[in-house]
Amino acid sequence: MSISTDPAVLSAGVARRLPGDLAMWIFILAELAVFGILILAFAVTQMLHIDLFRESRLALDSSTGLALTLGLLTSGLFAALAVEQVRGARQDRAGWLLLAALVSAGVYVVLKLQEYGHLAGLGYGLEYNTFFTLYWLLTGFHFLHVLLGMLILGYMANRCRIGAYAPGTSRSGLESGVLYWHMVDLVWVLLFPLVYLLG
């Protein structure tokens, strides 16, 4: 079911509608529920092992966490701007913006892999202690979502290149793909302070 609409219509106060496909929103809610369970599991375990979590967190670099955050958020901006360009019938620009979103997401991937490599090199693997078990599970699960999101961004960039989002055609697929990417951002803004800073 496509329930997209143009901002011009919305700003005129004619209708309040959800961008993208309803199925994508249901999928997003399901994903958020799973992440919610993991986040609360992390928080509750931290409550039971507060000193262990505080000491283990010292192995993480909050500056790296900030760079990871900025990479994802900037990618989200480019993806959102791409949707605006498609609505304005400028698919070429949208394609370039989606590529920029991919590059920015690539920064996140490179930094995260460096962090994973650094921690693994120090011996802080999945079985090192409870903190690192949850760290690898939680951030690893999110990392897989980033990779899937990048595949979607690449697919949509190619669709823009071949002119698949021409005026008069449905844009709900593009909107839904970008919504998924924003969901990845939304999860990260909660994960970042919880894993790197709080406690």
Distance (Å, rounded) from C-alpha 130 to C-alpha 144?
Answer: 21
Instruction: Please enumerate in sequence order all residues whose Cβ is within 8 A of that of 125, keeping only pairs 6 or more positions apart, or say none.
Output: 119, 132, 136
Listed ranges 10-18, 128-136, 146-154, 156-164: which one lies at the site for another protein (CB under 8 A): 10-18
Tokens 């894993």 correspond to what residue? 195
| Cα-based distances in Å from 96 to 55, 87, 113, 159, 168 | 43, 15, 25, 12, 21
Instruction: Please enumerate in sequence order all residues whose Cβ is within 8 A of that of 25, keeping only pairs 6 or more positions apart, or say none.
Output: 18, 179
From candidates 74, 129, 130, 133, binder to another protein by CB under 8 A:
74
Least distance in angstroms from the C-beta of 19 to another protein: 5
3-state class of 89 per DSSP? coil
Least distance in angstroms from the C-beta of 130 to another protein: 14
Residues 107-126 that bind another protein (CB under 8 A): none
Listed ranges 74-82, 106-114, 120-128, 153-161: which one lies at the site for another protein (CB under 8 A): 74-82
Distance (Å, rounded) from C-alpha 14 to C-alpha 44?
Answer: 45
Q: With CB under 8 A, what is the number of residues at the site for another protein?
A: 45
Alpha helices in the chain (DSSP H): 7-11, 22-48, 50-57, 62-87, 91-121, 130-161, 172-192
Q: Does residue number 189 form part of the binding site for another protein (CB under 8 A)? A: yes
Q: Does residue number 165 form part of the binding site for another protein (CB under 8 A)? A: no
Please say which residue, 79 or 157, places its beta carbon nearer to another protein: 79
Least distance in angstroms from the C-beta of 21 to another protein: 13
Binding interface with another protein (CB under 8 A): 5, 7, 10, 16-19, 25, 28-29, 32, 36, 39-40, 43-44, 46-47, 54, 62-63, 65-66, 69-70, 73-74, 76-77, 80-81, 84, 179, 182, 185-186, 189-190, 192-194, 196-199
